[in-house]
């Protein structure tokens, strides 16, 4: 099939929703479909995936992550690029418009009507909840009711919706999206890329460890993802302040962006300068070696509506995973997660301490998580599920 993907973000960058877009589209391309991704001007190209981008964006202007007024301009630039890509699609008009994020679904609704093509919406979380999570608007903002009405209207436009979790599917039904259009499609991972430490070149892992200057003789906690309050970064640092009293104290490898300088300052204020290493953004291709440095992975995300795709690389890498106890985390980790009460920094510290104090039990959980990732959450599974939905809406 000919697939036009609308991705209103700076694809590709090294974080959550971009990994989902890349994994899905690469898997569909590998199965013989023709893919074009329309995305923002910034980002980097991925081998095998053809992108179309608006040509105008000020040099050195950073691409916003999350909600931003600048995205209104970027979305306006995206519309003519999407129409041009559709009209000049190799082999004919697209069979499917595959839209990511609510902005993509809004643009896709107009494009799908113009082309008489079905619209599929990949739903990764509530638009209004994301704006609240990113503090783009406040809970008392007069814009919030109008945004929620717009969000509800967008949710009713697609011919099919792929929800990133069962929890997200439930939220969509509660918001009035047609139940028959909703299909649950969790995030996925390539377990041949993300592998346990023992299956990776020991010299390459050691080289990364030496480059980062990680202390010897101390357990390493790893986090890979965006740095933000709704991701639980503040709570993770508060938990580390408690864990620093252990002997030996664990060391946190905090991998991600943005706001690195702000969190470095926060770590210093908490007395954690010697206990946390900040890497900034880690390229997707380098992520497996970086995760291999960890003894325990942490997932402190507290957003109530978004998915949590970062769990999948942890699982595939065979890492014991400590997470806040949320419905989405339970969907991925099941009984093999090590859970802390949601939003509780002290509870998060206690859960990490349990994993460090019970290495055999933690190792058994890690092996089970790896097996679960291989059996349930690969991109090949995702591609087949997407094809089934395509067949349903294209008839």
pLDDT (tens, 9 = 90+) of the chain, 395 residues, equals 999 999 999 999 988 889 999 999 999 999 999 999 999 998 899 999 999 999 876 545 555 565 566 677 888 889 999 999 999 999 999 999 999 999 999 999 999 999 999 999 999 877 777 667 656 677 778 878 888 899 999 999 999 999 999 989 998 999 889 999 999 999 999 999 999 999 999 999 999 999 999 999 999 999 999 999 989 999 999 999 999 999 999 999 999 999 999 999 999 999 999 999 999 999 999 999 999 999 999 999 997 667 788 999 999 999 999 999 999 999 999 999 999 999 999 999 999 999 999 999 999 999 999 999 999 999 999 999 999 999 999 97
Cα-based distances in Å from 143 to 147, 149, 354:
6, 10, 44
CA gap 107, 127 in Å, rounded: 14
pLDDT at 179: 94
Residue 263's pLDDT is 98
Predicted confidence at residue 303, as pLDDT, reads 77
Q: Pick the closest to residue 53 from 97, 96, 21, 8 (CA basis).
A: 8
CA dihedral 96, 97, 102, 103 (to 10 degrees): 180
Cα–Cα dist 286/220, whole Å: 18
Length of the chain: 395
Distance, in Å, from the CA atom of 67 to the CA atom of 164, rounded to the nearest integer, reads: 19
Give me the pLDDT at residue 42, please: 83
Tokens describing residue 27: 């898997």
pLDDT the model gives residue 136: 66
Q: How far apart are CA 57 and CA 73, in angstroms?
A: 10
DSSP character string of 28-84: HHHTT-EEEEEE-SSS---TT-EEE--S---TTPPPP-SS-THHHHHHHHHHHHHHH
The reported pLDDT for the residue numbered 267 is 98
**In this predicted structure, what is the pLDDT of residue 137?**
72
Per-residue confidence (pLDDT) for residue 73, from 0 to 100? 80
**Residue-level pLDDT at 66:** 57
- What local confidence, expressed as pLDDT, does residue 133 receive? 64
Report how far residue 128's alpha carbon sits from residue 146's, in angstroms, rounded to the nearest whole number: 10
Question: Exposure of 38 by Cβ count < 10 A (0-12 exposed, 13-18 middle, 19+ buried)?
Answer: buried
Q: What is the DSSP letter of 296?
A: E
pLDDT for position 64: 57
Longest CA–CA separation in the chain, Å:
65
Residue 153 token pair? 């209207």
Task: Note the pLDDT of residue 67.
Answer: 57
């Amino acid at each position: 099939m000919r697939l036009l993907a609308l991705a209103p973000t700076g694809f590709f960058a090294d974080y959550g929703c971009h990994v989902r877009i890349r994994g899905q589209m690469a898997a569909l391309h590998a199965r013989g479909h023709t893919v074009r991704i329309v995305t923002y001007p910034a980002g980097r190209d991925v081998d095998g995936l053809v992108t179309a981008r608006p040509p105008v964006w000020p040099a050195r202007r950073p691409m916003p992550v999350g909600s931003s007024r600048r995205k209104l301009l970027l979305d306006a630039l995206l519309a003519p690029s999407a129409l041009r890509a559709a009209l000049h699609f190799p082999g004919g008009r697209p069979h499917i418009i595959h839209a990511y994020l609510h902005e993509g679904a809004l643009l896709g609704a107009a494009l799908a009507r113009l082309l008489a093509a079905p619209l599929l919406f990949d739903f990764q979380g509530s638009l209004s909840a994301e704006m609240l999570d990113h503090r783009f608007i406040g809970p008392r903002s007069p814009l919030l009711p109008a945004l929620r009405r717009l969000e509800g209207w967008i949710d009713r436009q697609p011919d099919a919706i792929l929800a990133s979790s069962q929890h997200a599917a439930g939220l969509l039904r509660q918001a009035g999206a047609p139940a028959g259009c909703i299909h649950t499609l969790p995030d996925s991972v390539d377990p041949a890329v993300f592998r346990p430490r023992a299956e990776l070149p020991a010299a390459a892992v050691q080289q990364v460890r030496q480059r980062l200057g990680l202390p010897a003789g101390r357990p390493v906690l790893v986090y890979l993802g965006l740095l933000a309050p709704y991701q639980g970064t503040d709570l993770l640092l508060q938990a580390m302040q408690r864990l620093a009293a252990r002997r030996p104290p664990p060391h946190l490898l905090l991998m991600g962006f943005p706001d690195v300088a702000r969190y470095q300052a926060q770590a210093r204020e908490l007395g954690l300068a010697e206990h946390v290493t900040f890497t900034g953004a880690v390229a997707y291709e380098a992520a497996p070696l970086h995760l291999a440095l960890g003894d325990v992975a942490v997932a402190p995300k507290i957003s109530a509506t978004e998915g949590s795709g970062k769990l999948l690389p942890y699982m595939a890498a065979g890492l014991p995973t400590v997470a806040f106890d949320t419905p989405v985390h339970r969907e991925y980790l099941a009984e093999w997660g090590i859970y802390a009460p949601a939003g509780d920094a002290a509870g998060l510290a206690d859960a990490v301490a349990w994993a460090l104090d019970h290495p055999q039990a933690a190792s058994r959980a890690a092996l089970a998580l790896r097996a679960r990732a291989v059996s349930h959450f690969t991109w090949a599974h995702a591609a087949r599920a997407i094809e089934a939905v395509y067949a349903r809406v294209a008839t």
